[in-house]
Chains A and B, each alone.
Chain A
Amino acid sequence: MPWLRRVKPEAAQQTAARPDEPAPAAAPQTPAELDTQRRARRTGTLIATPGALYLLIFFMVPLGLITVYSFATRTSTGRTSLSGWNLDSYERIADDVILGIIARSAWLAFLTTVLCLIVAYPFAYYLATRPPRLRARLLVLVMIPFWTNGLVRVFAIRFLLGSNGPASALSEAMGFGTFRILFTPTAVVLGMVYGFLTFMVLPLYVALERMDWRLVEAARDLYASGAKAFWRVTVPLTRSGIVAGCVLVFVPSFGSYVVPEILGGAKTLLIGSYVARQFQAARNWPLGASLSVLIIVAMLVAVAVNQRNSANAERTGAGAP
């Protein structure tokens, strides 16, 4: 059969044309190899068990409970009845008051994120361009606030910004009158910027530290001014750090509870406090639960965006098909 002879070399070529195709999956394995593999897998499972159990009991179970409660009914006495499942509490979210709270929370979280970015980028840039030994020391400085109790730090800010505090004294001494900032949205944003700045600095630092500065030199060589080289090369190449930092700041700012409680006034009710109120004073667990679910879903979307972004960065960066 002449055509058979013609086909055969072609088939051979096809397999030969892909010598880099990974073969190991199909490769025959000896019993010893299989045994080693199985043991390695078993060890891995064993190591992961405590963490997995912890997450299951203290994270997944409460999360499941919250989700269940969000479909429950609030009785007239404020008890939660685990029957008559419905979407009432989700419908209540459409209420103008609640939507207003969500919008305000989002707006303040947005402001916090932008301020963090503006403050953190130059600092991270400075950090990343120092000699390695100085870098390590400066990074420790960034971390120090983390070793202090968060609540204490927020109260410290409250003292700083208070009408009897040093900021106020300074402004009075300079003739600007008393400083009225505490219990305003401004104070909340300031507090959140302070609280979450590290989350912005670290990813930016990592991105800038990995930057290939020769690319900036190349841009300068190609007639870009310092500023243009920054916007056209440095910023795009640190985009993954910028997005990661923004997500890491926006997410906790949006659901923030402690800072607005201590620094915000009655007027600055944010979603974190509102949820807490539903579980405590208002005794409307289904509403609190459904709001929580909503926040979680929103955050998951943000994280997904971040992950797609870093995957993109990898594709356009070094590794490529």
Chain B
Amino acid sequence: MNGDGAVAGPTAERDGGVAHGPGAEDRTGVPAVEMHGISKRFGDVVAVDEVDLEIGDGEFFALLGPSGCGKTTTLRMIAGLDIPSEGRLAIFGEEVASWPPDRRPVNTVFQAYALFPHMTVAQNIAFGLQMRGIRGAEADRQVAEATALVRLEGMEQRRPSQLSGGQQQRVALARALVNHPKVLLLDEPLGALDLKLRQEMQTELKALQREVGITFIFVTHDQEEALAMSDRVGVMSEGRLLQVGTPAQVYEHPANRFVADFIGRTNLLEGVVESSTTLRLHAGAVVAAETDLAAGTPAALSVRPEQVRLHGRGETPQGAPCLDGVIGDATYLGHAFVYTVSIGGSGDGATTITVRAETGSAALAVGEPVSASWLPATTTVVAD
């Protein structure tokens, strides 16, 4: 054990204070998309349940959730491909809930792209222009511009089937952006790409959004993608919108158990709220934790793996909440260690804490007794 007791721990506060403000570049003041009490039912199935949402002009917004959570249906309602069963939907102040898709100033990049197989790349891109009566030299100019924007020059006469997945994705983007939509909807646009290409396209999409300045609404089930790309994230589950906030807000202060668990990895330490500042964990300890929940409510403390520090037994800093345990498993990841700490206690109290520690500190051996501690400010009390 090191003299100061801290054998491993996060190096610095990973503060999310530099988050992009929501709708930071609100240019008109009118939200790009406004939803009030939007619901969609298919027969008995409630796909989207009373969603209220405002998305600012120029924002890169991610709708995040597991498959079947209603995120795609929400997007389709904005596009006009599904009509809401209930609620109000406005795009730049105009009530569009019952408008057909061809009247809405939005375009979609579909999952799997839905490129027209019987048309060339250029014809695909020109389709929207043609439908709006833009033809001839003006159409050619705009198609060339969009082709250049997504760097597809030289591919104009190819068919979609002759393109790679990444190229098809660019065609889909160009086909939508050539129309200068007020809002661009993207339905899992990176889902069909392999990992490396996906990461490239993440960067590219972000740059593209800055370049064109259009509001992007992006549907994904990949939380890393959502955090990495968007200004704000809306987390959905079972048709409900659970939390909307910047990636940092959502990650650091999840609104409930689902969000805490879905976004990133976390330790959920079960317990009962004791007061507005304390939580009694089943593992035994009473720990400091701010909460609005009423005393007696079953809740869990969400502690991120990288916020946990491991110390020798009895060497925890004064006042910091801590739990004693034993290293149950250690995994070396190159840039970090991941430890699983078995917390003692019997029955309900037995649990494990996952700890992520930077490499560079001494490795801990399996079976070593440790104390796990954290700063109360880095944790969140979550209920169902």
Given contacts A237-B118, A316-B117, contact A220 B100 (CB under 8 A): yes
In the docked arrangement, what's the CA distance between A317 and B112, Å? 15
- Which residues 287-321 of A have a CB within 8 angstroms of B? 316-321
Residue in B closest to A225 when the chains form the complex, CB atoms: B102
The answer to the question of B127 belonging to the interface, with a C-beta cut-off of 8 Å to chain A, is yes
Tell me whether A212 and B118 are in contact (CB under 8 A): no
Tell me whether A218 and B161 are in contact (CB under 8 A): no
Tell me whether B117 and A237 are in contact (CB under 8 A): yes
In the docked arrangement, what's the CA distance between A224 and B175, Å? 13
Q: Smallest distance from the beta carbon of A318 to chain B beta carbons, Å? A: 6
The answer to the question of A276 belonging to the interface, with a C-beta cut-off of 8 Å to chain B, is no
Tell me whether B118 and A222 are in contact (CB under 8 A): no
**Neighbour of B117 across the interface among A220, A232, A317, A321, CB < 8 A:** A317
Residue in A closest to B104 when the chains form the complex, CB atoms: A221
Chain A 121-135: CB-based contact to B (< 8 A → 1; otherwise 0)? 000000000000000
**Neighbour of B128 across the interface among A223, A233, A236, A318, CB < 8 A:** A223
In the docked arrangement, what's the CA distance between A93 and B131, Å? 51
Residue in B closest to A321 when the chains form the complex, CB atoms: B162
The answer to the question of A219 belonging to the interface, with a C-beta cut-off of 8 Å to chain B, is yes
Q: How many A residues face the partner with a CB closer than 8 A?
A: 25
Tell me whether A221 and B108 are in contact (CB under 8 A): yes
The answer to the question of B110 belonging to the interface, with a C-beta cut-off of 8 Å to chain A, is yes
In the docked arrangement, what's the CA distance between A156 and B295, Å? 84
**Neighbour of B107 across the interface among A221, A224, A237, A318, CB < 8 A:** A221
**Contact residues in A for B81 (Cβ distance below 8 Å):** 217, 220-221
The answer to the question of B350 belonging to the interface, with a C-beta cut-off of 8 Å to chain A, is no
**Contact residues in B for A321 (Cβ distance below 8 Å):** 162
**Contact residues in A for B258 (Cβ distance below 8 Å):** none
Tell me whether A214 and B110 are in contact (CB under 8 A): yes
Residue in A closest to B120 when the chains form the complex, CB atoms: A316
In the docked arrangement, what's the CA distance between A20 and B118, Å? 27
**Neighbour of A212 across the interface among B114, B131, B179, CB < 8 A:** B114
In the docked arrangement, what's the CA distance between A321 and B176, Å? 27
In the docked arrangement, what's the CA distance between A195 and B118, Å? 33
The answer to the question of A39 belonging to the interface, with a C-beta cut-off of 8 Å to chain B, is no
Residue in B closest to A232 when the chains form the complex, CB atoms: B127
In the docked arrangement, what's the CA distance between A318 and B163, Å? 11
Tell me whether A222 and B117 are in contact (CB under 8 A): no
In the docked arrangement, what's the CA distance between A147 and B9, Å? 80
The answer to the question of B22 belonging to the interface, with a C-beta cut-off of 8 Å to chain A, is no
Given contacts A212-B114, A237-B117, A321-B162, contact A222 B79 (CB under 8 A): no
**Contact residues in B for A218 (Cβ distance below 8 Å):** 108, 110, 114-116
Tell me whether A236 and B159 are in contact (CB under 8 A): no
Tell me whether A214 and B114 are in contact (CB under 8 A): yes
**Neighbour of B118 across the interface among A214, A217, A316, A320, CB < 8 A:** A316
Residue in A closest to B103 when the chains form the complex, CB atoms: A223
**Contact residues in B for A222 (Cβ distance below 8 Å):** 102, 107, 127-128, 131, 175-176, 179
In the docked arrangement, what's the CA distance between A232 and B127, Å? 9
Given contacts A218-B108, A316-B161, A318-B161, contact A223 B179 (CB under 8 A): yes
Chain B 79-113: CB-based contact to A (< 8 A → 1; otherwise 0)? 11100000000000000000011100011101010
**Neighbour of B127 across the interface among A212, A219, A319, A320, CB < 8 A:** A219
In the docked arrangement, what's the CA distance between A233 and B119, Å? 10
The answer to the question of B132 belonging to the interface, with a C-beta cut-off of 8 Å to chain A, is yes
**Contact residues in B for A87 (Cβ distance below 8 Å):** none
Tell me whether A320 and B159 are in contact (CB under 8 A): yes
The answer to the question of A79 belonging to the interface, with a C-beta cut-off of 8 Å to chain B, is no
- Which residues 205-221 of A have a CB within 8 angstroms of B? 212, 214-215, 217-221
In the docked arrangement, what's the CA distance between A214 and B113, Å? 9
In the docked arrangement, what's the CA distance between A232 and B128, Å? 12
Residue in A closest to B118 when the chains form the complex, CB atoms: A236
Tell me whether B102 and A220 are in contact (CB under 8 A): yes
Chain A 186-220: CB-based contact to B (< 8 A → 1; otherwise 0)? 00000000000000000000000000101101111
- Which residues 54-85 of B have a CB within 8 angstroms of A? 79-81
Chain B 159-193: CB-based contact to A (< 8 A → 1; otherwise 0)? 10110000000000001100100000000000000
> Would you list 25 pairs from A and B whose C-beta atoms are within 8 A, ordered by A residue?
A214-B110, A214-B112, A215-B114, A217-B81, A217-B114, A218-B108, A218-B110, A218-B116, A219-B116, A220-B102, A221-B79, A221-B80, A221-B102, A221-B108, A222-B102, A222-B128, A222-B131, A222-B176, A223-B132, A224-B102, A225-B100, A226-B100, A316-B159, A318-B161, A320-B162
A residues engaging B (CB < 8 A)?
A: 212, 214-215, 217-226, 228, 232-233, 236-237, 239, 316-321
B residues engaging A (CB < 8 A)?
A: 79-81, 100-102, 106-108, 110, 112, 114-118, 127-128, 131-132, 159, 161-162, 175-176, 179
Q: Which 6 A-B pairs have the closest CB atoms?
A: A320-B161, A222-B128, A223-B131, A218-B114, A220-B101, A214-B114
